Structure 1
Amino acid sequence: MTLPAWDDPELKAGTMVRGALWLVQVVSEGGVFNKEQIRKAFPGISQADRRIRDLRDYGWVLLTNTDDATLTAEDQRFVKAGVAVWDPAARRAAAPQKAISNKEKQAVMARDDYMCTVCGISGGEAYVDDSNQTAVLSVTRRETILPDGQERILLATECKRCRAGSVGQPARADEAVADIKALDAGERRRLLRWIERGRRGTTALDRAWNTYRRLPPDARDQVRGALEN
């Protein structure tokens, strides 16, 4: 499908749609843009940056300096396109639902121990594989297929990185049940204990490794030296 040009004067579309096309055609996925570039691209439109932020409600992934420490306060990174909002049918089908209230958000985050339910990271914590990024938590709607096959939209706490990676992918409770039933009796009992405790059990080796990883680099060097001696 050929996309309309973002700056086509004949294009009858709002700023959000033009902004989406501008991101795809000018910035490109992975690119960085700032408010000054938005002002130049959409002169005379005072809320253009807000309209572009509205794309997040349609699955578009845009990071700020609170999500990616390599960005300045003025910068944003266009990570991934979401719903093709220039297609009226697709836009209507994906129209945002009623906003989640602050009371609901607080209740969900408290239930989830203020951690991402996908990767387990806490808000403000740096990612192990990318110390330039810290986790920003939000309450999101997850399409979920229950064990009986019913489809439900449920609320869950997720960090922005996991949310970006799960776009379009439903949570499969039915597959979880099938996987658990396929375990042998001993493994199933062990898993049920983890479920009751709310965390995975660890071995002595796991605990030793985690203790080592929490040490400052100089202390790790001394531990290695002590073991080698």
Structure 2
Amino acid sequence: MKQPAWDDPALTAGTMVRGALWLVEVVGEGGTFTKNQLREAFPGISQIDRRIRDLRDYGWVVLSNTEDASLLAEDQRFVKAGVPVWDPKARREAAPQKAISSKERQSVLARDDYMCTLCGIAGGEAYPDDSVMTAVLAVSRRRVTGLEGREVEALVTECKRCRAGRDDHPIDATAAVDAARGLGPGELRRLLRWIERGRRGATELDRAWAAYLRVPPNHRHEVASRVKKML
């Protein structure tokens, strides 16, 4: 389907679709925009902010200053376009699935030790190559191809940066077996202990660091001060 113009008077699509077209045609991937610019583009539409957020259910990545510390409070960054929602067929095929419940989300985060399963960063930790951006964790639905070749769905923990950059190919369980082939006997035994526990083994230091990162930034200095007194 040919991509229509976002401001075409003949376009009968809903606000979410027009908002997606505006992001692509006016802002462009990597560009920033403000809430005022969004409201000026869609005057009289009180829910335009929500319609832009709805695009995230279709793989679109739009970050606010809570996810990208380099942004001002009123700014948002259009990182990546997702499903072409102006195409009815593509939109139907990618329709959002049942929402992940709060209980499911907390269970998956705890299972994954509050770390991204792709890059290993902990929630709230600064990226080594970008100290102004801290990791925000989310639970995503991913397709997984089992060893027998059957595809199933699984919930996994990902940081929003990895989520934005990943492709849509299923996770291949065979790759995990292949990765283990290069381990020595000692490493294999350690891996099997992790598998039996259902989580990676962590030292007391790892657990202390993860607990510290879960403390809100404005309270961390109090924790640091108390820890210093332990020396």
Output the TM-score relative to the length of structure 1: 0.81
Aligned residue type for 1:193: R
Q: CA deviation at 1:12?
A: 1.1
Q: Which residue of 2 aligns with 1:38?
A: 38
1:1-229 equivalences in 2 (<5 Å): 2-181=2-181, 183=182, 187=184, 190-197=187-194, 199=200
Q: Which residue of 2 aligns with 1:224?
A: none
Percent of aligned positions that are identical: 66
Which 4+ residue blocks in structure 1 deviate beyond 6 angstroms? none
Do the aligned partners of 1:61 and 1:81 also contact (CA within 8 Å) in 2?
Answer: yes
Q: CA deviation at 1:67?
A: 1.3
Q: 1:70 to 1:150 in 2, by over 3 A?
A: same
Do the aligned partners of 1:149 and 1:174 also contact (CA within 8 Å) in 2?
Answer: no
Q: CA deviation at 1:74?
A: 1.2
Q: Which residue of 1 aligns with 2:216?
A: none
Output the aligned Cα RMSD. 1.8
Q: 1:27 to 1:188 in 2, by over 3 A?
A: farther
Whose Rg is larger? Answer: 1
Do the aligned partners of 1:66 and 1:134 also contact (CA within 8 Å) in 2?
Answer: no
Q: 1:37 to 1:180 in 2, by over 3 A?
A: same
In the TM superposition, what whole-angstrom CA distance separates every residue of 1:157-194 from its partner, at most 9, and x where no partner exists?
1100111122412211123224434x4xx636523423
Give, in whole Å, the separation in 1 of the partners of 2:189 and 2:24: 47
Give, in whole Å, the separation in 2 of the partners of 1:33 and 1:188: 54
Q: Which runs of 5+ in 2 are unaligned?
A: 203-231
Aligned residue type for 1:170: P
Q: How many residues align?
A: 198
Report SS of the residue matched to 1:140.
strand
Aligned residue type for 2:77: R
Q: CA deviation at 1:199?
A: 4.8
Report SS of the residue matched to 2:39.
helix
Give, in whole Å, the separation in 2 of the partners of 1:66 and 1:47: 21
Give, in whole Å, the separation in 1 of the partners of 2:28 and 2:192: 43
Q: CA deviation at 1:17?
A: 0.4
Aligned residue type for 1:91: R
Q: 1:5 to 1:188 in 2, by over 3 A?
A: farther
